[in-house]
């Protein structure tokens, strides 16, 4: 897909990987709509993207608002989903609050809402990219909720790829990426990432731009659907 002149919607596009993706799409000549539910993130996006991107206040769990967004900008060509939908439960499963575990699946519900309501508003050559995470296939102690949700996201994409064809859907699975999603405290974030990546073949955290470049690959490559691309510094290796 040549992205110049295409219309893209980036859900969760006001921070982290979503923001980096929106910026790279703009640099490639796409018309970009950035949607987010958090006011502070939207302000950061406004500073980073300026007037080049259209911004909307949308919660991916609000189907009415999401449908209105898609209707406003239909038809569109590219849909990127990186919104978390809310919090992420961490810790030993047998000590975990089950409401917190269940709440982690808001990410999946947000993605299913987006695909179900967005795909019909796309052209036949439209492409969708979901953002998962390496715990989907390498669950460290305390990350059972992340593993379960990530596995569900990747399975969902594989299951529906044949159904929505010729539209394409793929997943980008990042490893430890240095973004504010980990924590807003930069010093604490650095400590967490050093510990999380010290045994990786590439012993550092990735950048949001490195992850976003894989999203752009999945958008551009018309011969890829129903697959997951890992950008994790080798974290999945033994």
| Ramachandran region, residue 97 (left: φ > 0; alpha: ψ -120 to 50; beta: rest) | beta
Confirm if 104 and 142 have CB atoms less than 8 A apart.
no
| Predicted confidence (pLDDT) per residue in 32-60, tens digit | 999 998 766 667 777 788 888 999 999 99
- In the chain, the domains with their CATH numbers are 7-230 (3.40.50.720)
What are the beta bridge partners of residue 177?
206
Distance between CA 23 and CA 17 in Å, rounded? 10
Q: What is the pTM of this model?
A: 0.93
Cβ contacts of residue 138 below 8 Å, gap of 6+?
235, 236
| Predicted confidence (pLDDT) per residue in 168-211, tens digit | 999 999 999 998 777 777 788 888 899 889 999 999 999 999 99
């Amino acid at each position: 897909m040549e992205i110049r002149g295409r219309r893209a919607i980036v859900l969760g596009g006001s921070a982290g990987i979503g923001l980096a993706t929106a910026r790279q799409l703009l640099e490639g000549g796409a018309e970009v709509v950035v949607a987010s539910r958090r006011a502070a993130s939207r302000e950061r996006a406004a500073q980073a993207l300026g007037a080049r991107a259209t911004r909307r206040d949308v919660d991916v769990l609000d189907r009415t608002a999401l449908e209105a967004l898609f209707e406003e900008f239909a038809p569109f060509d590219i849909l990127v989903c990186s919104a978390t939908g809310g919090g992420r439960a961490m810790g030993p499963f047998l000590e975990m609050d089950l409401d917190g575990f269940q709440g982690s699946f808001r990410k999946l519900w947000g993605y299913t809402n987006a695909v179900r309501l967005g795909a019909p508003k796309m052209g036949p050559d439209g492409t969708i990219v979901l953002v998962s995470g390496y715990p989907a296939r390498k669950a460290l102690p305390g990350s059972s909720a992340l593993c379960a949700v990530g596995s569900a996201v990747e399975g969902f994409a594989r299951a529906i790829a044949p159904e929505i064809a010729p539209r394409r859907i793929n997943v980008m699975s990042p490893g430890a990426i240095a973004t504010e999603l980990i924590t807003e405290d930069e010093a604490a974030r650095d400590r967490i990432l050093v510990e999380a990546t010290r045994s990786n073949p590439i012993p550092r955290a990735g950048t949001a731009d490195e992850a976003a470049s894989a999203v752009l690959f999945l958008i551009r490559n018309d011969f890829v659907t129903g697959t997951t691309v890992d950008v994790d510094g080798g974290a999945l290796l033994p």
